[in-house]
Structure 1
Amino acid sequence: MQVDQTLSNYSDLAFQSAFVIYTVALFVSLWYYGRMQAVVDVRRRLAAKNKAQDRELVSVGGSGDVTDTGSTDAETLSDIDELHKREKGADKASGMTQALIWLAIVFHAAAVILRGLATGRFPLGNLYEYVLTITLGVFVIVAAALTRKSWRPLWPWILTPMLALLFYGGTELYAESAPVVPALQSNWLPIHVSTVSIGASIGIVSGVASLLYLLRIWQAPGKEKGFFGALAKPLPTARKLDALAYRSAIITLPTFGLGIILGAVWAEAAWGRFWGWDPKETVSFITWVLYAAYLHARATAGWKNWKAAIINIVALATMIFNLFFINLVVSGLHSYAGLN
């Protein structure tokens, strides 16, 4: 089928527009992150003053003395007023971030759809298209999950690696719109690769949550110190981050596993065997085993802490290794990066 170059150009333009909007969203999310640091500081200052006032009241009640607390009340009211102002500013930045993300997702989805229409196939024929699709999956999943304000401090931690991946995909991995190689001209292409993409997208969210969980248990709320303490201050609690990682991995394991099984069925139809220990097959299977090990460790007494999180992070690292090193360096039956 002949490629529609006009639609292909529109796809590239939509990708560039999405990248710019995501970048603006990153800066706005960093602004929001800074405001949340100030909000946390004021909240803790208020909590400390309330505790001090409670102790004073208990002391006054016990001794029968009367103490003038007018100045203290005035300071408390001033802190409350400051807290409301800072929360209002943070909410504004949070809403702007969320709106920009959804706008970027529209352009991002348009880039994927137009790429498919331009080539008359599902846009999963090379590594650029795969990166385009998997990052879209991450953004849609995270945007839907971060509708609650308490989770929105995670945006800078998601946007930064995804923008880096999009930049690399749009520069080093970019491939002109073209028909796929004969080996990929199959109805199994969208079924297998889409399933793997969804599983990988959710797995990325799970891995990032585990990384932030380790940061949070290292820099516990109220005990943050130094540069990393300032970074951790606006984050949710370690328990919430661990729960996000665990619930995401629960979806990743069967979805990614189903993608591997569908790939094996396709391999039997294309190459006459279900499994051949091809480099990509092998590393994909190792990744799936690591996710299974993480879930098992997470449910095992004595492992429900940083040990299980490390397994999840290793699974994320293995997935990234599979995406880049196996596709770009190692030669195998899955070498369809589209760079040659």
Structure 2
Amino acid sequence: MNTTDLSVMALGGATVLYAIAMVAYAIRLARVADDKVAAKAAVREPVAAGGVSPAEAVGSAPAVPAASSPGAKARKAAGIARSTTLVGALLHAVGLTARGIDAGHVPWSNMYEYTISGSFFAVLAFLIIQRKRDVAYLGAGVTGIATVSLGLALTVLYKDVDTLPPALQSYWLVIHVSIATIVTGIFAVSFIASALQLMRDSRDTGRRWTGDRVRWLDAVPSAANLEALSFRLNAVGFVLWTFTVMAGAIWAEHAWGRYWGWDPKEVWSFVIWVLYAAYLHARTTQGWAGRRSAWLAIAGFTALIMNFTVVNLFFQGLHTYAGS
């Protein structure tokens, strides 16, 4: 087995594990929501005339097996989700490392490598946040994005190892593109939080997303808490994206003799910066808390995805090699 085979096999294994984790995280959401609904129903249950309350009856009730106690199924699903996500991330790292060794350079020189790198950093960001606070409610979205990204990378975007174009044969490839892929992962996690924020807000205010079909939203934190998490992630991501744009300008001056040339990739990178700057400004100084700030954050991530897909594939410019 050579490094190419090792990379593909490891990334394929990571894809399968992420898919399993996505299902497990979704089951956890459903179980947690069911437990909350059942708990609320038990509290509201009236005491029958001449009978005893549920709290008084606990002592005389038969013991409930641990495996079927409230929350046990949710904890089991969460355990499966965490373990498969962690092992999937380890395999993902092996696949990235093997690709880099096989290529002889850092693995982010084309769309295939960007995709496997960006999805890895999204999962890594989620795992790091998970160590500090319980954000398992983001797990289905993060592992879902990772599953789709790796699936597309291996089946549609895959490209054999090739020599780097002259413009990429620079230490700026490590500096500029590494930060860009890291911040893509952070923005992806923030995007999921903002999407959940909109859904939870719509559920709470009765706009839409009501009924038993979306009961799992009961397992998601309040819209305000989701907005606070998204804001923190976007603030970190904005600082890193600012550095990305600045590093790209410096690299452009080294490679092409100018800092800015209105190349499609440069223009869209600036559009992304403007959208996230508008989000932070509106959120902190203009009181755009709530749905409007969430839509701005989603617009920023949408522009990021368009920069990676549409600009790479359909626009001609000095960055055309990025779509190869």
When the two structures are superposed, what TM-score results if normalisation uses the length of structure 1? 0.87
Check whether the contact 1:183–1:270 (CA below 8 A) recurs between aligned residues: yes
Q: Percent identity, aligned pairs only? A: 31
Check whether the contact 1:210–1:242 (CA below 8 A) recurs between aligned residues: yes
Residues 46-90 of structure 1 show CA distances to partners (whole Å, capped at 9, x for unaligned) of: 3434xx67xx9xxxxxxxxxx634264467777995997131221
Using the alignment, how far apart are the partners of 2:39 and 2:134 within structure 1?
14
Using the alignment, how far apart are the partners of 2:254 and 2:135 within structure 1?
44
The code of the aligned residue for 1:269 comes to: H
Q: SS of the counterpart of 1:219?
A: helix
1:70 is aligned to 52
1:182 aligns with 2:166: yes
Using the alignment, how far apart are the partners of 1:228 and 1:194 within structure 2?
40
Greater Cα offset, 291-300 or 131-140: 291-300
Using the alignment, how far apart are the partners of 2:310 and 2:323 within structure 1?
14
1:279 aligns with 2:264: yes
Which sections of structure 2, spanning at least 5 residues, go unmatched?
A: none
The code of the aligned residue for 1:180 comes to: L
2:94 is aligned to 110
Q: SS of the counterpart of 2:289?
A: coil
Match of residue 255, structure 1, among 222, 228, 240: 240
Q: SS of the counterpart of 2:26?
A: helix
Using the alignment, how far apart are the partners of 1:82 and 1:46 within structure 2?
19
Number of aligned residues = 321
1:299 to partner: Cα distance: 1.2
Match of residue 12, structure 2, among 3, 10, 16: 16
Which sections of structure 1, spanning at least 5 residues, go unmatched?
A: 57-66
Relative to structure 1, is the Cα distance of residues 108 and 304 closer, same or farther in structure 2, using a 3 angstrom cutoff?
same
Relative to structure 1, is the Cα distance of residues 248 and 325 closer, same or farther in structure 2, using a 3 angstrom cutoff?
same
Q: How does 1:188-337 map to 2 (within 5 A)?
A: 188-220=172-204, 225-226=210-211, 229-337=214-322
Q: CA RMSD in A?
A: 2.6
1:30 aligns with 2:15: no
Using the alignment, how far apart are the partners of 2:317 and 2:174 within structure 1?
20
Using the alignment, how far apart are the partners of 1:266 and 1:148 within structure 2?
36
The code of the aligned residue for 2:137 comes to: P
Check whether the contact 2:138–2:192 (CA below 8 A) recurs between aligned residues: no
Relative to structure 1, is the Cα distance of residues 79 and 143 closer, same or farther in structure 2, using a 3 angstrom cutoff?
farther
Match of residue 42, structure 1, among 22, 38, 45: 38
Q: SS of the counterpart of 2:285?
A: coil
When the two structures are superposed, what TM-score results if normalisation uses the length of structure 2? 0.91
1:61 is aligned to none
Using the alignment, how far apart are the partners of 1:164 and 1:75 within structure 2?
49
The code of the aligned residue for 1:40 comes to: K
Relative to structure 1, is the Cα distance of residues 267 and 79 closer, same or farther in structure 2, using a 3 angstrom cutoff?
farther
Q: SS of the counterpart of 1:332?
A: coil
The code of the aligned residue for 2:275 comes to: L
2:117 is aligned to 133
Q: SS of the counterpart of 2:2?
A: helix
Check whether the contact 2:197–2:227 (CA below 8 A) recurs between aligned residues: yes
Residues 2-25 of structure 1 show CA distances to partners (whole Å, capped at 9, x for unaligned) of: xxx911221111111111111121
